[in-house]
Amino acid sequence: MSIEKKDNIFSMSDSVCLAHHKESGETLSFPEHYHNFVEFVYMLRGKCVHVIDKEMYPVKRGDMVIINYNQSHSILGSTDAEYINILMKPEYISRALVNQENAFALLNLSEFETFREILDKEKKCVSFSADERDQIERIIYILEKELEENSPGGELAVRSALNLLIITVFRKMSLVLDKEFSGITEELLDYIKSHASEKITLDDIAKKCSYNPSYFSRIFKQYTGLNFSDYLNRIRIENTVFLLSNTELKIEDVCYRSGFSDKTQFYRCFKKIKGTSPYKFKNKQ
């Protein structure tokens, strides 16, 4: 794999590369950088936090992060993380994409046109269930094997595996909420978790489910036992706990990166959920 770094920008000469990383006994971290290729990062083990264009994305086993051309990217992590990096120049799929600086230019190809109108292009992280993990890891294994062995027909096999990987990821990124969610589902809760660091409201989620906000609020509490704001705050506090335990970030930075816009609300929520202040919690760590 030929990767070069110049002025904090990574570039590669190959069209597609795959790297298997294992961190054991040391804290996984990577400073802010940029690159001229699309990067898929799939978590096999452990947890870490990807920061993409200043937005925080906590990831765990079975999660995949997509980093586009020229986006700022850094990693804040924990020990014993294992992950796969898949690096790709979009033009590898088709010469029609030469000089395109956007991963979603792929949607202009006939192979991916069915995703053009339903793809959540703002989504940076997708979570795969246990069954889906088996499928995605088989695809990655085939891709890794073909890249290593360089057997006859290998380029076609790599291209096919990469196409299948992209389709699988696009399916997880599709905006299916509007059409398929008839109630509160695990997919919806995963969506809320993956967007918890962003500014999302009950009205936003109700609209995605085609529900009246007041009705959605009632069925959400029936399903989860919490109202929407309390549920969202609990997710955000768990994200802050991870960051306080595994990074050297200041408490104020953790507050804002977790999705809180008000420090007073953050301290009050943390105390209510964890029974102590963020300062005391961090000191214990």
Q: Is 277 left (phi over 0), alpha (psi -120 to 50) or beta?
A: beta
Among residues 251, 256, 249, 259, the alpha carbon closest in space to that of 281 is found at 251
Q: Return the H-helix or E-strand segment holding 244.
A: helix 228-246
Q: Please state, for a pLDDT cut of 90, what percent of the chain lies above it.
A: 20
Domain of 125, in residue numbers = 3-175
In a shared domain, residues 221 and 143 = no
Write the CATH number for 187.
Answer: 1.10.10.60
Contact 73, 67 (CB under 8 A): yes
Among residues 73, 57, 21, the alpha carbon closest in space to that of 194 is found at 57
Please give the Cα distance from 85 to 176 (Å, whole number): 27
In a shared domain, residues 31 and 170 = yes
| Domain count within the chain | 2
Q: What percent of the residues of the chain are helix, what percent strand, and what percent coil, each to the nearest 5? A: 45, 20, 30
In a shared domain, residues 199 and 113 = no
Among residues 279, 248, 274, 247, the alpha carbon closest in space to that of 263 is found at 279
Domain boundary among 120, 141, 175: 175
In a shared domain, residues 145 and 215 = no
**89 pLDDT band (50/70/90 cuts)?**
confident
pTM of this structure = 0.63
- At position 200, the amino acid (one-letter code) is I
pLDDT digits (tens, 9 = 90+) for 135-156: 999 999 999 999 989 889 988 9
For residue 269, give both structure tokens: 């929520």
In a shared domain, residues 149 and 97 = yes
The predicted structure's pLDDT at residue 142: 93
For residue 253, give both structure tokens: 């930075």
Please give the Cα distance from 221 to 219 (Å, whole number): 5
**Does the pLDDT at position 192 exceed 70?**
yes
In a shared domain, residues 59 and 170 = yes
In a shared domain, residues 197 and 109 = no
In a shared domain, residues 161 and 227 = no
- The terminus-to-terminus CA distance of the chain in angstroms comes to 38
Please give the Cα distance from 59 to 237 (Å, whole number): 15
Query: What does residue 126 show for φ and ψ, rounded to 5 degrees?
Result: -125, 150
Domain boundary among 143, 175, 207: 175
In a shared domain, residues 191 and 259 = yes
Q: Return the H-helix or E-strand segment holding 44.
A: strand 38-45
Please give the Cα distance from 219 to 223 (Å, whole number): 6
* 267 against 76, higher pLDDT: 267
Write the CATH number for 17.
Answer: 2.60.120.810
Looking at residue 225, the DSSP 8-state letter turns out to be: S
In a shared domain, residues 79 and 192 = no
Domain boundary among 175, 203, 227: 175
In a shared domain, residues 69 and 52 = yes
In a shared domain, residues 83 and 224 = no
Q: What is the mean pLDDT of residues 189-201?
A: 88
Please give the Cα distance from 166 to 66 (Å, whole number): 11
pLDDT digits (tens, 9 = 90+) for 14-48: 888 898 887 666 666 778 888 888 889 999 988 88
Helices and strands per DSSP (H, E), number in the chain: 10, 11
